């Protein structure tokens, strides 16, 4: 490997291995790739569409397209779901923000809200996520909840923790609120 290749490799590893603040939770039960967690309350920004433009809308908001031209750090995970052709995406806001100190979006397509947190069950999986993987791991989570006699209270959400430019050790999850 020549010097230029080594420099490019080091530079790309530095950029794409950045650590982001992650929505905090306490693990209550852990069994292989299954967990039950208690999530802390957190501010979120969300948007809905049927055109697949959700990421761009949310990214513009955190990049300063808001009332205070406030730049907001990227966090993890990105929450997603789809229902009857309408896609929802949510960005977690850094823990330093609350309803009083965060700039309101300029776009009518982006809304802020306080997610109250709560108890969720999750199944994690690696690689790039796709519809088949989401279905497979959703079924796995449903099966585990039935085995444990734990009742789900909401819809399944799909979480992604990594930039599309991260190729190895990718983290994805299926989660659902539960009575526990």
Helices vs. strands in the chain: H and E counts, helices first: 3, 12
3-state secondary structure of 165: coil
According to the CATH classification, is domain 20-40+117-180 in 3.30.200?
yes
pLDDT tens for the chain, 180 residues: list them.
Answer: 444 443 444 444 444 445 889 999 999 999 999 999 999 999 999 999 998 899 999 999 999 999 999 999 999 999 999 988 899 999 999 999 999 999 999 999 999 999 999 999 999 999 999 999 999 999 999 999 999 999 999 999 999 998 878 888 899 999 999 999
Map out the domains of the chain as residue ranges.
20-40+117-180, 42-115
Entry field: residues in the chain: 180
Structure tokens at 10: 């080091």
Q: Cα separation of 121 and 150, whole Å?
A: 9
d(CA 133, CA 158) in angstroms, rounded, equals: 11
CATH superfamily name and code, 42-115: Regulatory factor, effector binding domain (3.20.80.10)
60: number of Cβ within 10 Å:
16
For the whole prediction, is pTM greater than 0.85?
Answer: yes
What residues form DSSP beta bridges with 105?
Answer: 66
């Amino acid at each position: 490997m020549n010097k230029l290749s080594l420099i490019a490799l080091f530079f790309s590893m530095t950029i794409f291995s950045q650590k982001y603040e992650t929505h905090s939770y306490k693990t209550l039960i852990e069994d292989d790739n299954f967990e039950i967690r208690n999530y802390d309350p957190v501010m979120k920004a969300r948007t809905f569409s049927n055109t697949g433009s959700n990421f761009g809308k949310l990214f513009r908001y955190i990049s300063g397209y808001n009332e205070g031209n406030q730049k907001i750090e990227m966090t993890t995970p990105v929450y997603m779901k789809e229902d009857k052709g309408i896609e929802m995406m949510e960005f977690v806001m850094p823990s330093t923000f609350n309803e009083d100190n965060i700039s309101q979006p300029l776009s009518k397509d982006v809304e802020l809200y306080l997610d109250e947190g709560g108890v969720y069950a999750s199944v994690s999986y690696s690689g790039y996520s796709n519809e088949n993987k989401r279905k497979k791991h959703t079924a796995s989570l449903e099966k585990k909840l039935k085995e444990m006699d734990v009742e789900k209270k909401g819809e399944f959400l799909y979480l992604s923790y990594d930039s599309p430019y991260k190729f190895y050790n990718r983290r994805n999850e299926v989660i659902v609120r539960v009575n526990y």
